[in-house]
Amino acid sequence: MDTEIILQAEGLYHVYESSAIDGNVVALRGLHVKVRPGEAVAVVGPSGSGKSTLLKCLGGLMKPSAGNVSFQGKQINRLTGPELVSLRQDTVSFIFQDANLLPDLNALDNVAQPLRHQGASAIDSRKKARALLQRLGMDDRAGGMPSQLSGGEQQRVAIARALITEPKLILADEPTGALDPITSREVLSLFAKLHEEEDVAFLLVTHSREVASFADRSLELREGRFIAQHGEDVDISDLSSTRALIIDETGTMTLPPEIMTGLGGPGRFEIESDSNEQILTLSRLEKNASPAVKGVKLILAPVCPACKHVYFDEVQECPSCGSSRPMVPE
């Protein structure tokens, strides 16, 4: 195992047993994943593709049916329960879509709780928790109960709780899925700051293009397999050896990365009239292709798509019609 890899999974399978007519469900099909210190990786895919199952297996919250998961070279399936808890506390923190705050504790004590579990005193834990909440602009809400906090505030508390143990890796499951677009961007901006300034590594699972654009690279998951990878330092070895062209029920086609690169990246194509069921001949309609492996940088839209108002500043809402300002490819 490479000592420069903080998290690694090899040959990861997971099967959900079922007594239904369709039989067992294979959620993960031999996945390989590597996350290096300070790297941000996104796993993207539609609902039911296996994203949450993968995250639970990587975080030691679920035992895979087959394969190995290692934190800093230590295989978690060989650890005792207490050893696994200790390794997670020292290495990784979790952020979930719904924040998962303890309802009977205020924001300050929710953030302090992981340190209390590690045996730190209440005074020291709360002091560090308050400093984190202040850093995240939540100092004045420290005494608020979860039910009194907005969705964005709850997520900021969850982020502070994830950071209090100074983890080397944060695993996030749809971290902005329950937030409005503006609050979502604020959370992503905070992630980017932590990633750049604190060298925190991230592995996020998401179906959002905007969330994925935060990462250094992204892996596309379909039907339990990685079928494409985009971004910086792309490692094709992470992908399945049986990378297949997939056409879903809506007619959407997913191509392996080497084919995408050969086509010049995503875009609009015309299927030539002499094509048959076995052969597809594609012709690009746009003149300019965008490289698939370079990722897509998103920026705030220069014009409101609803009322055509032209923006001249960094506002998040249209001053003319009040709609949320979208992100578009640069």
More confident residue, 142 or 280: 142
Q: CA–CA separation, 202 vs 204, rounded Å?
A: 6
Give 170-222 pLDDT, tens digit per residue.
Answer: 999 888 877 778 778 878 888 888 888 888 899 999 888 778 888 888 888 88
Given pLDDT bands bounded at 50, 70 and 90, which one contains residue 118? Answer: confident
Residue 238, pLDDT above cutoff 80: no
**Whole-number pLDDT of residue 249:** 58
Instruction: Kindly tell me if the per-residue pLDDT of 58 is higher than 70.
Output: yes
Specify the higher pLDDT residue, 22 or 84: 84
Predicted local confidence at residue 89, as pLDDT: 73
Closest CA to 16 of 49, 65, 56, 61: 65
pLDDT digits (tens, 9 = 90+) for 144-165: 999 999 888 888 899 889 889 8
pLDDT tens-digit series, residues 24-43: 888 898 888 999 988 999 99
Fold of 7-221: Rossmann fold (3.40.50)
- pLDDT the model gives residue 131: 92
Whether 205 contacts 218, CB under 8 Å: no
Nearest to 35 by CA among 17, 53, 50, 55: 55
Looking at residue 140, what is its pLDDT? 92
Mean predicted lDDT score pLDDT of the chain: 80
Q: What angle do CA 9, 206, 133 make, to 5 degrees?
A: 95
Q: Where in the chain is the domain with CATH 3.40.50.300?
A: 7-221
Q: What is the mean pLDDT of residues 123-130?
A: 94
* Amino acid, single-letter form, for residue 112: A
- pLDDT at residue 81 tops 50: yes
Instruction: Look up the pTM and report it.
Output: 0.71
Return the residue matching tokens 């209390």: 116
pLDDT at 260: 61
The residues, any chain, with a CB within 8 Å of residue 202's CB and separated by 6 or more, are: 39, 40, 41, 169, 170, 172, 191, 195, 214, 215
Concatenated DSSP letters for 242-302?
Answer: T---EE-TT--EE--HHHHHHHTSS--EEE-TT--SS---EEE-SS----GGG---EEE-S
pLDDT in the model for residue 1? 44
User: In this predicted structure, what is the pLDDT of residue 157?
Assistant: 92
pLDDT bin (cut points 50, 70, 90) of residue 253 is: low
The model's confidence at residue 237, banded by pLDDT at 50, 70 and 90, is: low
Residues 85-91: what's their mean pLDDT?
75
| Lowest model confidence (mean pLDDT) among 124-133, 204-213, 245-254, 318-327 | 245-254
Query: Tell me: the pLDDT tens digits for 262-313?
Result: 565 666 677 765 555 566 676 766 554 433 333 556 788 888 887 888 888 8
Rounded distance, CA 46 to CA 189, Å? 24
pLDDT at res. 291? 36
User: Rounded to whole angstroms, how far apart are CA atoms 86 and 100?
Assistant: 21
Q: Are 180 and 186 in contact (CB under 8 A)?
A: no
